[in-house]
Amino acid sequence: MLVGLGCGDDGAGGEASSPAGAEGASAASEEPEAVTGEGDEAPAEVSEERAPAAPVAVARGDAPALPDAPEAGCAFAAPTRLLPRPAWVDVAGADGAFWVAGTTAGDDGEEAVLVRVPLDGAAQVSARASLEEAVPADRRRAAPALTIHDGRAILALVDASHRVRVARFEPGPSAALAFATAAEGASLRFSPALAPAGDGWVLAWTDERGTPMRVRAARLDASGARRGEPTDLTPAGGGAAAPAFARGAEPPVLVFVDPRQGMSVAHRVAVTDAGFSGPAVARPVGLVAEPPETAAVRLGATDWLGYTAVGNVATTAVGLVRLEGTSDPVPLVAGTGYGVLHVDATRLGDGAVFAADAPTDSPPDAPRELHVRVVDADGTPLGEATVASGPDRAASRGRVAVASGAVATTFVSTDGTYVALGRCASGEQSAEE
DSSP string, 214-261: EEEEEEE-TTS-EEEEEEE-PPTTS--EEEEEPBT-SS-EEEEEE--S
- The mean pLDDT of 306-331, rounded to a whole number, is 94
Name the phi and psi angles at 177, rounded to 5.
Answer: -115, 110
pLDDT of residue 146: 98
Asked if 180 contacts 165 with a C-beta cutoff of 8 angstroms, the reply is yes
Q: What's the predicted TM-score (pTM) here?
A: 0.88
Confidence of residue 136 (pLDDT cuts 50, 70, 90): low
Of 47-56, 98-107, 310-319, which range is least confident?
47-56
Task: For residue 288, give the 3-state DSSP assignment.
Answer: strand
- The mean pLDDT of 374-378, rounded to a whole number, is 95
- DSSP class of residue 58 equals S
pLDDT of residue 53: 39
Portion of the chain with pLDDT greater than 70, in percent? 81
Confidence of residue 395 (pLDDT cuts 50, 70, 90): very high
- The mean pLDDT of 381-410, rounded to a whole number, is 95
**Residue 306: is its pLDDT beyond 70?**
yes
**Residue 16: is its pLDDT beyond 80?**
no
- The mean pLDDT of 173-182, rounded to a whole number, is 91
Rounded to 10 degrees, the C-alpha dihedral 280/284/289/295 comes to -50
Pairwise CA distance, residues 125 & 374, whole Å: 30
Calculate the average pLDDT of the chain: 85
Task: Starting at the earlier edge strand, list the strands of the sheet with 368-375.
Answer: 343-348, 351-359, 368-375, 381-388
Q: Helices H, strands E: what count in the chain?
A: 0, 32
Confidence of residue 204 (pLDDT cuts 50, 70, 90): very high
pLDDT of residue 45: 35
**Residue 428: is its pLDDT beyond 60?**
no
Asked if 281 contacts 264 with a C-beta cutoff of 8 angstroms, the reply is no
**Residue 425: is its pLDDT beyond 80?**
yes
